[in-house]
Structure 1
């Protein structure tokens, strides 16, 4: 038990602040529409084929054509565009009018917050560090529950420490941690699996990681150059013909030498906000190459696709977003106070004894 306590305290002291940053940024990102202070954010979603096709034709015909177009959702009434230049993008109305443009992620709080939460401003390396922090966080939940058990009779539910002193902070840390353990475990587990796909084998069963990799793999590359004026309308009409009730979510130009345009859809049964139902079209002719139905994928793959909605609060509406927010804020509180008590706590002052009067 002493070794567990030592490991829990020292690891928490070393990475507690990192977990606090991940928790706070995640809590804020759960409410992205509030961070984008543009009036068009609250516009109703347009998903009729004519409106989608008109917006795609207008946006993709621009001289500085974006590499991807994410269509508006029920909660976010703007289309989001991404350009080839790193960090550049734009918001456009559902009619195709650009209302905000940025050349750097630092110009938009929701963009740099996303990069902070997912990559710690350091690309793939930062993503790996965040994943390691998530694994450590799962360890904290397990070891914290073990350490709480021996002190369970002293349990007291308080949202804030009774006093801002080390003993009361540690007591609050222990008790609020055990209450929030299931939510913290869910947030940390889903985030870790998305970074380290092999961890899925431990949660979703043997072979899950390999099944996910195979199921999400793009078709073989084609020797096809992107046409000057692709038939965007025809692609959207094809998607609607195959999946009449699905939302059209992301239109992407070919990446590298794939020679394929992709169009992602979200069927009603899918939790993932942008769906995993994907259509691939030849970049030169617009011919349909492959249609992948997300609902026909293996159960392990469908479970994997549900991880991001659970992690980011993209399912269950406002009530579940508030649950995700609470989980993030709890992680922020526990992580920051752990660092404070470990590194910056003040030693208690010794009481000075009054001199004994001479008799």
Structure 2
């Protein structure tokens, strides 16, 4: 019996393997993130860079202020009640709202905060005006307003918050695009001198990765200051913490002047390990004088502890010790000092300055890489 030769059968094309599909998806995702990282970085990154540069300068605000205005330096930082009374009597009609007490490690004068944004500096011994500043005539205050609200008030602050979240996204996408294969960590961190395309790329990604924790901390704490209520709700909900206590209410039977000497002396004994930092005249008809205080162990340069006494300086009405709060509240109050570099001494302070310079460096190196690569095409 003869067997007919069978014709060769062309095999059907196999379906793409799941691994190949996954690789294709990763390539598309990487291409999309690379495009977004580039163009969003060039646009929003410009604002991020300018805000970072202004922040680096403001970390050194008190030093630069005393260098620019030497009349503020060299005073004995003492808080005299009679001098404080004179300052309030003279300047409250001009809009003075609160006064920061002379600081041994900062500006050693009284600092007055006015409702229109001005700041006045008064001799700690006499109360004489040494300097009046406003955003119209002081570049440091102008820079401060730019840093916290882009010179745009509440709207500028909201816009800055959006830029802050975008900056967090840029940092995380940059980390994803940099992430090396196994065994290539050191090679991926190496910075090359040339050619130009390789130089700008390696300088951009390696500096960004090496300083990412510091820059991410500065960015997140900045966003946390803008959205303080939301951050506090999340942190206290997760780690515990109560709302800030409200001042007690105590009405006056009749108008009575404030005995600032007795008030300062009594308030200073309410928290023995604390330093009083700020106060303001009480509301009309109220017998409550309130103080901010920095207790031992607090990171916040102005403190978040509170002391309330009566006008006559005879009774402590209420005390809030910020060091006794639960972890969530303590974490919330660490956001500001971490952002301005007031924790950990000079090393962290200068690291904060460096973190503020990094966005501008990343913007410039990223732009130079894009321009060189574009010129190669």
Q: TM-score range by the shorter chain?
A: 0.7 to 0.9
Instruction: Please list every run of 5 or more consecutive structure 1 residues that lacks an aligned counterpart in the other structure.
Output: 351-359
- In structure 1, distance between residues paired with 2:286 and 2:359: 41
Q: Does 1:116 align with 2:146?
A: yes
Partner of 2:24: none
SS class of match (1:275): coil
SS class of match (1:348): helix
Give the deviation of 1:285 after TM superposition.
Answer: 9.3
SS class of match (1:264): strand
Q: Note the alpha carbon deviations across 1:337-357, whole angstroms, 9 max, x for none.
A: 445666x7795278xxxxxxx
Give the deviation of 1:93 after TM superposition.
Answer: 2.3
Q: Note the alpha carbon deviations across 1:283-334, whole angstroms, 9 max, x for none.
A: 7999654321112222211111111111101122222111100111112221
- In structure 1, distance between residues paired with 2:327 and 2:268: 25
Sort the Cα spacing of 1:44 and 1:99 in 2 relative to 1 into closer, same or farther, 3 A: closer
Q: 2:296 aligns with which of 259, 262, 268?
A: 268
Give the deviation of 1:262 after TM superposition.
Answer: 2.3
Q: How many residues align?
A: 338
Q: 2:212 aligns with which of 168, 176, 181?
A: 181
SS class of match (1:270): coil
Partner of 1:9: 38
Sort the Cα spacing of 1:311 and 1:166 in 2 relative to 1 into closer, same or farther, 3 A: same
Partner of 1:68: 98
Q: Does 1:132 align with 2:130?
A: no
Sort the Cα spacing of 1:301 and 1:170 in 2 relative to 1 into closer, same or farther, 3 A: same
- In structure 1, distance between residues paired with 2:283 and 2:207: 46
- In structure 1, distance between residues paired with 2:251 and 2:114: 23
Partner of 1:18: 47
SS class of match (1:142): helix
For 1:124-203, what aligned pairs fall within 5 Å after superposition? 124-150=154-180, 152=185, 154-157=187-190, 162=193, 165=196, 167-197=198-228, 198-200=230-232
Sort the Cα spacing of 1:124 and 1:223 in 2 relative to 1 into closer, same or farther, 3 A: farther
Indicate if the aligned counterparts of 1:227 and 1:284 stay in contact, CA closer than 8 A: no
Q: Note the alpha carbon deviations across 1:20-58, whole angstroms, 9 max, x for none.
A: 0111011001111232122244436635xxx33233122
Sort the Cα spacing of 1:13 and 1:57 in 2 relative to 1 into closer, same or farther, 3 A: same
Partner of 2:360: 332
* Cα RMSD after superposing both structures: 3.2
- In structure 1, distance between residues paired with 2:74 and 2:261: 23
- In structure 2, distance between residues paired with 1:258 and 1:11: 52
Sort the Cα spacing of 1:99 and 1:268 in 2 relative to 1 into closer, same or farther, 3 A: same
TM-score by length of 2: 0.78
Indicate if the aligned counterparts of 2:232 and 2:329 stay in contact, CA closer than 8 A: no
Partner of 1:32: 61
- In structure 1, distance between residues paired with 2:61 and 2:254: 33
Instruction: Please list every run of 5 or more consecutive structure 2 residues that lacks an aligned counterpart in the other structure.
Output: 1-29
- In structure 1, distance between residues paired with 2:254 and 2:330: 32
Give the deviation of 1:79 after TM superposition.
Answer: 2.2
TM-score by length of 1: 0.81
